[in-house]
Amino acid sequence: MEYLLTTNGLTKQYGRHKAVNAVNLHIRQGDIYGLIGRNGAGKTTILKMLSGLAAPTEGEFSLFGKTGRDSYEYMSRVGTLIEEPGIYPNMSAAENLRLKCLAVGVRKKGTVDELLRTVGLADVGKKKVKKFSLGMKQRLGIALALAGNPDLVILDEPINGLDPQGIAEIRETLLRLNKEKNITFIISSHILEELSKIASNYGMIHDGVLLQEMTREELLSKCSERIELKTNDTRKACTVLEGMGIEKYKVVDADTIQIFERLNDGGDITMALAGNGVKTMGITVKNEALEDYYLNLTGGTANV
């Protein structure tokens, strides 16, 4: 079996609007697959269909090599965290997990404690979930998704609204589970920068359409570094750059030039500029091209 999950022309139509339009995803065992798209792009609708929470209007998906109704027998191997998970606010984390284990038929002793440890909630004791921070709730949601010992875990925006510390903790937990238990993850997000720290593969969704699938390496090679250069004489600086054989550059404003070629550092450039009487006011290596790449792909300038 080459893929753990594929979709074939997966479509969801609400009235006249196709929230998901003929999407073909390819997800291998062991992938951390990042589904990236702006709010409203159709990510949640895709994940709901993959979890059996919504029916496709057209198309289908294959799970563990089985298609359509046959795939339902494998749903127990899929754990999900989509929108508000079924958390009971007046119960503790352990009580919530105990209920979930009952529901999915897990009886093994010590499971609840192990799940709490896995997501870093071992010390919360009897505290009611309604008193939890957003990050703690999110971690409990992940523990609930893990309760049935799934092979595939689907998480809808698991880092949304968390502070950097919370994001780092979730990221480490997911990477560990992926490595140690070979759990395959599908994670949606509207922030490519965040996904890029964890995902091995990407599917980019825009207006219900899958624009592109790519591996981590493919994305990184497309989003190489750029050097931003400020000088007192842009015109002359361009001539100097060309004299050095640098062709991939762009003048972005009166005193700023961006250079898109891979250079070890900017030292050679500043030396050459100085040698030609051009003063360097500033030179920085920028590596924030990920979001730019995504914005270009989706043809937009608004926030992602």
Ligand X SMILES: Nc1ncnc2c1ncn2[C@@H]1O[C@H](COP(=O)(O)OP(=O)(O)OP(=O)(O)O)[C@@H](O)[C@H]1O
Nearer CB in complex with ligand X: 153/283: 153
Task: Please report the DSSP string for 189-230 in residue order.
Answer: ES-HHHHTTT-SEEEEEETTEEEEEEEHHHHHHHS--EEEEE
Nearer CB in complex with ligand X: 151/157: 157
Judged by CB under 6 A, the residue of 27, 41, 140, 174 near ligand X is 41
Q: Cβ(60)–Cβ(67) under 8 Å?
A: yes
Report how far residue 276's alpha carbon sits from residue 271's, in angstroms, rounded to the nearest whole number. 9
Binding segment toward ligand X, per CB under 6 A, in 24-32, 34-42, 164-172, 211-219 = 34-42
Of the CA atoms within 13 Å of residue 128, those in its CB half-sphere come to: 6
Q: Cβ(111)–Cβ(144) under 8 Å?
A: no
Pairing of strands 32-36, 184-189: parallel
**148 is an interface residue for ligand X by CB under 6 A:** no
Q: Cβ(5)–Cβ(156) under 8 Å?
A: no
Binding segment toward ligand X, per CB under 6 A, in 22-30, 37-45, 194-202, 255-263 = 37-45
Nearer CB in complex with ligand X: 14/88: 14
Helix (H) or strand (E) holding 36: strand 32-36
Nearer CB in complex with ligand X: 207/225: 207
Nearer CB in complex with ligand X: 34/266: 34
**203 is an interface residue for ligand X by CB under 6 A:** no
- What count of residues does the chain have? 304
Q: Cβ(205)–Cβ(11) under 8 Å?
A: no
Q: Cβ(44)–Cβ(188) under 8 Å?
A: yes
At its nearest, how many Å lie between ligand X and the CB of residue 4? 22
Judged by CB under 6 A, the residue of 45, 51, 92, 138 near ligand X is 45
Judged by CB under 6 A, the residue of 6, 7, 34, 43 near ligand X is 43
Say which residues have a Cβ less than 8 Å from residue 186's Cβ, sequence separation at least 6.
5, 27, 33, 35, 47, 50, 152, 153, 154, 155
Binders of ligand X in range 2-21 (CB under 6 A): 14, 19
Number of amino acids touching ligand X (CB under 6 A): 10
Binding segment toward ligand X, per CB under 6 A, in 38-46, 133-141, 242-250, 296-304 = 38-46
**40 is an interface residue for ligand X by CB under 6 A:** yes
Judged by CB under 6 A, the residue of 42, 135, 141, 266 near ligand X is 42
Binding segment toward ligand X, per CB under 6 A, in 43-51, 64-72, 231-239, 251-259 = 43-51
Judged by CB under 6 A, the residue of 44, 80, 201, 298 near ligand X is 44
Binding footprint of ligand X on the chain (CB under 6 A): 14, 19, 37, 39-45
